[in-house]
Amino acid sequence: MTLLTRQNLKSNPAPIMKINHLVDEVAAAISINSINYAVVMLTPDDLEDFVVGFLFSQSVIKNNHDIHDIKVENTNLGLLINVDIANRCSSQLKQQKRQYPAAAGCGICGLEALEQAFPKLNQLAPSEALEFTDLVALRRQIQTFQVKAKQSGAIHAAFNLDEQTNITACREDIGRHNALDKLIGHNLRSNQQIKSVLVTSRCSSELIQKAILAKINNLVSLASPSQLAVNMAIEHGLNLIHIPKVDAPIYYCRTTLSQ
């Protein structure tokens, strides 16, 4: 979406028209086997990736093959997304009582019980922490891959990283949780087991949960993590790495808390 605004310049007393690109945000009502499940505010791109990653992160499905069909319908109020999942997944879902409010990327709002906010997570296999030798090159890659951020700036992103810290995939969304869900969904749909992911947003405990569920060994964040996020990462063997704007990367893992 673009918006025309007036801007005054000191060198030119006459007002000029400037085009501002605004990020899209819509309500997406997700139904599973025609039963209402959640309403999420998101950027309407890579929707199938989001649906797969979101339902995987909520433990509704275990892999991409548990989804038989995804149908998206545009309405004046937003998107209607109906997902057809396997019967065994549907039976497990009926045992979960959960309701989401319509908040942008608000992942644990509306949980009926605190226990559901902190599900039991499996331990990750031991893995060496990712090393960064050229942060300037990495930041240049981030700018190159973030197409929507160049236009509006008001958007989060999640990236796949290879062993040489090169970016191999990117997903963007107005919601930071949504961006990671989209990337996880992309990896599941392409049958990739990615070991390292970078997020541009602050690192909360729920991003840690999503990473552990997806068996990601290294989660890199451009913003400081919360104490709960650090504790959860160390407990489950996830290498959490914070890259500040100026200083060297800070490592939070079992071997050392900072480097």
Contact status, residue 23 vs residue 174, Cβ threshold 8 Å: yes
Annotated catalytic residue 170: no
180: exposed, middle or buried (C-beta count within 10 Å: 0-12, 13-18, 19+)?
Answer: buried
The three-class DSSP label of residue 4 is: strand
Contact status, residue 179 vs residue 199, Cβ threshold 8 Å: yes
Q: Residue length, the chain?
A: 259
Distance (Å, whole) CA 68 – CA 54: 15
Which residue in 244, 223, 231, 217 sits closest to 130, CA to CA? 217
Distance (Å, whole) CA 83 – CA 67: 7
SS3 percent helix, strand, coil of the chain, rounded to 5, is: 30, 30, 40
- Of the listed 106, 109, 170, 203, which one is catalytic? 106
Residue 157: CB atoms within 10 A of its CB come to 25
Residues marked active site are found at 106
